[in-house]
Amino acid sequence: MRARALAGTLLVMVGIAAPVHAADVSRNAPPMLSARAAILMDAQNGTLLYEKNAFRQVDPASTTKIMTAILVIEHGGLNQIVTVSRRADGTSGSSLHIHHGQQYTRLDLLRGMLLRSGNDASVALAESEAGSITRFVAEMNVKAQQLGAFNTAYENTHGLTRPGHYTSAYDLALITRAALRLAVFQEIVRSQELEIRELHHRSARTISNTNQLLYGFAGADGVKTGTTAAAGKCVVASATRDGRQLIAVILNSQHRWQDAQDLLNWGFVAWNRVNVLKSGQTVAIRPVQRGVQAEIALVSHQTASFDLMPGDPYAVLVVAPVALRAPLVSSRAVGMATVAVGGQPVQRVALFPAHSVRARHSPQTFWHWIRNRLVNRGNWDDHSATIASG
Which residues does the annotation mark as catalytic? 62, 65, 117
DSSP E strands, 151-243: 193-198, 203-208, 220-228, 232-241
Residues 237 and 357: their CA atoms lie apart, in Å, by 51
Residues 62 and 114: their CA atoms lie apart, in Å, by 9
End-to-end CA distance of the chain: 45
Decide if 238 contacts 246 (C-beta within 8 A): yes
Work out whether the CA dihedral 75, 76, 80, 85 comes out positive or negative.
positive
Find the largest Cα–Cα distance for the chain: 111
> Which secondary structure element, helix H or strand E, spans residue 193, and what is its range?
strand 193-198
Identify any residues that bridge with 81 across adjacent strands, giving them in sequence order.
105
Decide if 50 contacts 33 (C-beta within 8 A): no
Identify any residues that bridge with 286 across adjacent strands, giving them in sequence order.
296
Residues 229 and 102: their CA atoms lie apart, in Å, by 31
Among residues 115, 246, 134, 137, the alpha carbon closest in space to that of 190 is found at 115
Q: Are strands 220-228 and 232-241 parallel, antiparallel or unpaired?
A: antiparallel
Q: Which residues contact 212 (CB under 8 A, 6 or more apart)?
A: 257
The C-alpha angle 225, 228, 230, rounded to 5 degrees, equals 125
Decide if 288 contacts 296 (C-beta within 8 A): yes
Q: Residue 63: phi, psi to the nearest 5?
A: -65, -15
Q: Which residues contact 125 (CB under 8 A, 6 or more apart)?
A: 68, 72, 82, 106, 109, 110, 113, 157
Decide if 150 contacts 142 (C-beta within 8 A): no
Supply the Cα-derived Rg of the chain in whole angstroms. Answer: 31
Q: Residue 317: phi, psi to the nearest 5?
A: -110, 130
